[in-house]
Amino acid sequence: MQKELKLIELYYLICDKYKKTLQYDIQRFSPNSNTGKITDEEIITLYLFSVCYEQRLQVSQIYSFIYNYWLSWFPHFPSYQAFNARLNRLAPLFPSLVSELVSDLTLPSDLLEIFIANNYM
């Protein structure tokens, strides 16, 4: 149950950031177009969840993990090729997302480097 709550919390955080600022940093890939029914927010959430909480670092590992364990939560999960293509199109968004997340931190600047290093190791 803990992982489910983390996924939901991450999704809400990504949706909030996306709607406030991130959508202006990248072309929106609407679920009404030929990119499928899964949203950009869902793709970003699945990617970050897999990397942060499951230490899946390769796109093929991320795809397999989501497909095997979370498919019931994301019934419109695309094929591997479509998932990879969407991630590649969303890649320019990640520096802005990291900037947004870091700006929300209330850490002294001398501890920020330690905090970031500990979260990515």
One-letter identity of residue 116: I
Identify the pLDDT of residue 109: 60
The answer to whether 52 and 5 have CB atoms below 8 angstroms apart is: no
Cα dihedral 70, 76, 57, 53 sign: negative
CA distances from 92 to 24, 38, 44, 54, 74 (A): 12, 19, 12, 23, 24
Give the Cα separation of 71 and 69 in Å (integer).
6
Give residue 121's pLDDT. 45
pLDDT tens string 5-21: 999 999 999 999 888 88
Mean pLDDT of the chain, nearest integer: 81
